[in-house]
Structure 1
Amino acid sequence: MDVTIYHNPKCGTSRNTLALIRNAGVEPQVVEYLSATPTHDALAAMIAQAGLTVREAMRSKESVYSELALDNPELGDDALLDAMVAHPILINRPFVVTPAGTRLCRPSELVLDILPLPQKGAFAKEDGEAVIDDDGKRVVKGA
């Protein structure tokens, strides 16, 4: 199965998403986007495929966001995409691309919606939150 994750190994959500992909028996193509940044056009396509706006795909809490005044509503998508390519820390993560779709996997369990292969066993996030039970089924919160 062709799966690509745009990954930041320093991000817990990204690490959990990668682990969920691997828990389905899939070894994805891992793109560490901070050093292998997608092009302007590739990033625009990925964001559109995920059904997001460019602003929704940005990390507005990064200091460079305010330094560059990216909250200016007059800035169009091209300017925002250019900023994301120049400063990839502004790209929200992780994006995952599979034949079943593209998602920004925040929270990490959103990856399950686009992985057609079942989980192979229990899985808990780094913080201990159970996501998949021993039978490979999604844990329903509050049940």
Structure 2
Amino acid sequence: MDVTIYHNPACGTSRNTLALIRAAGIEPTVIEYLQNPPARDQLAKMIRDAGLSVREAIREKGTPFAELGLDNPDLTDDQLLDAMISTPILINRPLVVTPLGTRLARPSELVLDILPSDAFTGPFTKEDGEQVLDAEGKRLG
């Protein structure tokens, strides 16, 4: 299965999502989006395919969101996309693209919606100790 993750290795949610993909036996294409941001059209497509608005896909915490005036509700999607491309830390992560769909994997277990359900054969526990999959690889919660 062809899977791409837009990843930030400094982010625990992104690391957990990558680990879940690998636990499914899939070695994804890993794009560290801070160094290699997606093209504007590609970012817009991923946001749309994930069922999000541009405003829902922008990251506020730990970014210059307010300093750049992006909290202005009158800004257009085009203006927000331009800001995300010019300042990639504003792109919420991790975005994951598979043939089964696109998700902003926050929380990380949302990636399970777009991975083969039969790919998991054992438990999975996040970095913080939260168990996501049981001993048979079934989703908890």
The separation in 2 between residues aligned to 1:124 and 1:54, in whole angstroms, is 31
For structure 2, which runs of at least 5 residues remain unmatched after alignment?
A: none
> Which residue of structure 2 aligns with residue 80 of structure 1?
80
Tell me the SS of whatever aligns to 1:64: coil
Identity of aligned residues (%): 69
Aligned 8 A contact 1:25 1:120 in 2? no
> Which residue of structure 2 aligns with residue 45 of structure 1?
45
Q: Which amino acid aligns with 1:97?
A: V
Q: Which amino acid aligns with 1:80?
A: L
Q: Which moved more, 1:116-125 or 1:74-83?
A: 116-125
For structure 1, which runs of at least 5 residues remain unmatched after alignment?
A: none
Aligned 8 A contact 1:58 1:84 in 2? yes
Q: Which amino acid aligns with 2:19?
A: A
Q: Which amino acid aligns with 2:51?
A: G
> CA RMSD for the aligned pairs?
0.9
TM-superposed CA distance for 1:134, in Å, is 1.4
Q: Which amino acid aligns with 1:135?
A: E
Output the TM-score relative to the length of structure 1: 0.95
Change (3 A) 1:129 1:61: same
Aligned 8 A contact 1:50 1:104 in 2? yes
The separation in 1 between residues aligned to 2:140 and 2:36, in whole angstroms, is 34
The separation in 2 between residues aligned to 1:55 and 1:98, in whole angstroms, is 23
Tell me the SS of whatever aligns to 1:65: coil
Deviation track 1:69-107 (CA, whole Å, cap 9, x = no partner) reads: 001111101110010011100000000000000000000
Aligned 8 A contact 2:3 2:97 in 1? yes
> Which residue of structure 2 aligns with residue 124 of structure 1?
125
Q: How many residues align?
A: 140
Tell me the SS of whatever aligns to 2:6: strand
Moved over 4 A (4+): none
Q: Does residue 136 of the first structure (1) align with residue 137 of the second (2)?
A: yes
The separation in 2 between residues aligned to 1:83 and 1:112, in whole angstroms, is 30
The separation in 1 between residues aligned to 2:110 and 2:65, in whole angstroms, is 26
> Which residue of structure 1 aligns with residue 7 of structure 2?
7
